[in-house]
């Protein structure tokens, strides 16, 4: 294209210049990358299954009116889904702001206290086992580029990784969506059955099955033992629901 022909990109030195080719190694799939989204869905789904179940079960012992239970349940699902989604969005945004603020401060320190910040790189590399000329040379190389210097400090001194762009939106959708989907499972029997006691029974069975399946899938996705994960999720969900039902019946009875 003409525009490109007028201002061609100068050949830039690649970061791979002088780097030998990689020896054979394990496939990159060996490490699990989607843990953050799985974690978000897990949080949303676990809360969505247990909180509306517990609310409905608690009310079922006090008011024998399924339409009222459905109303309260849907209000709780809507509030919980939007609140957890928004909360996750804000938390991720706060992380991004926090990272940016710390990076600005760290950058400023390389201007205000250059010797000290250079020494901190030296101390970190020293702890990695570097000594003598290698230590001095490596410190010089890292501090030669201020962006790199600051990035190195962010990771090794502050142990902060740069938040991924778009993480806030993805996290909000994963947590909020999982909450809404999870919440409709324990509530659906109160919609389709007219009597409260059978609805509570069906809701308990459906929630227990959903917790077990979901715990199993979550553990598998994280590369952990699925059977233990299923029992874990079922046990925790059951305990949460039992506490909530007890509170509601104590207050309401």
Nearer to a second copy, 55 or 217 (CB): 55
Q: Is 64 in the site for a second copy (CB under 8 A)?
A: no
Instruction: Please report which helix (H) or strand (E) contains residue 140, including its range.
Output: helix 132-143
Q: Is 50 in the site for a second copy (CB under 8 A)?
A: yes
Closest CA to 182 of 67, 35, 81: 81
Of 37, 96, 107, 138, the one binding a second copy (CB under 8 A) is 138
- Cβ-Cβ contacts under 8 Å for 233 (sequence gap 6 or more): 46, 211, 212, 214, 215, 218
Of 34, 64, 141, 195, the one binding a second copy (CB under 8 A) is 141
Closest CA to 69 of 61, 60, 82, 77: 60
Nearer to a second copy, 1 or 30 (CB): 30
Scanning residues 178 to 237, which ones bind a second copy (CB under 8 A)? 222-224, 232, 236
Scanning residues 146 to 175, which ones bind a second copy (CB under 8 A)? 148, 152, 155-156, 158-159, 161
Closest CA to 241 of 188, 203, 189, 184: 203
Q: Is 47 in the site for a second copy (CB under 8 A)?
A: yes
Q: How far is the CB of 105 from a second copy (least distance, A)?
A: 7
Residues in the chain: 253
Q: Which two tokens stand for residue 148?
A: 């790199």
Closest CA to 42 of 220, 205, 204, 184: 220
Q: How far is the CB of 4 from a second copy (least distance, A)?
A: 28
Of 91, 173, 184, 202, the one binding a second copy (CB under 8 A) is 91
Scanning residues 94 to 113, which ones bind a second copy (CB under 8 A)? 94-95, 97-98, 101-102, 105, 109, 112-113
Of 24, 29, 166, 192, the one binding a second copy (CB under 8 A) is 24
Q: How far is the CB of 220 from a second copy (least distance, A)?
A: 13
- Cβ-Cβ contacts under 8 Å for 95 (sequence gap 6 or more): 163, 167
Residue 120 Rama label (left phi>0; alpha psi -120 to 50; beta) = alpha
Q: How far is the CB of 52 from a second copy (least distance, A)?
A: 8
Instruction: Please report which helix (H) or strand (E) contains residue 9, including its range.
Output: none
Nearer to a second copy, 2 or 18 (CB): 18
Q: Which stretch binds a second copy (CB under 8 A): 5-13, 47-55, 166-174, 193-201?
A: 47-55
CB burial class (10 A; 0-12, 13-18, 19+) of residue 118?
middle
């Amino acid at each position: 294209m003409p525009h490109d022909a007028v201002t061609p990109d100068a050949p830039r030195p690649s970061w791979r210049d002088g780097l030998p080719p990689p020896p054979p190694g394990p496939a990159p799939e060996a490490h699990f990358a989607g843990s953050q989204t799985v974690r978000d869905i897990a949080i949303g789904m676990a809360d969505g299954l247990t909180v509306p179940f517990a609310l409905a079960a608690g009310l079922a012992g006090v008011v024998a009116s399924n339409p009222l239970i459905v109303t309260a349940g849907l209000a709780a699902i809507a509030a919980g889904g939007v609140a957890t989604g928004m909360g996750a969005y804000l938390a991720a945004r706060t992380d991004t702001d926090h990272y940016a603020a710390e990076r600005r401060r760290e950058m400023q320190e390389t201007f205000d206290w250059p010797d000290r910040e250079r020494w901190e790189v030296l101390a970190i590399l020293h702890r990695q086992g570097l000594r003598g000329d290698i230590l001095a040379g490596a410190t010089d190389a890292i501090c030669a580029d201020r962006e790199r210097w600051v990035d190195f400090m962010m990771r090794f001194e502050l142990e902060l990784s740069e938040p991924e762009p778009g993480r806030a939106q993805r996290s909000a959708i994963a947590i909020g969506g999982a909450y809404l989907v999870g919440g409709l499972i324990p509530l659906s029997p109160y919609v389709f059955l007219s009597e409260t006691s059978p609805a509570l029974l069906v809701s308990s069975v459906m929630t227990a099955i959903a917790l077990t399946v979901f715990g199993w899938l979550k553990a598998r996705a994280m590369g952990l033992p699925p059977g233990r994960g299923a029992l874990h999720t079922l046990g925790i969900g059951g305990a949460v629901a039992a506490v909530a039902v007890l509170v509601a019946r104590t207050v309401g009875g």
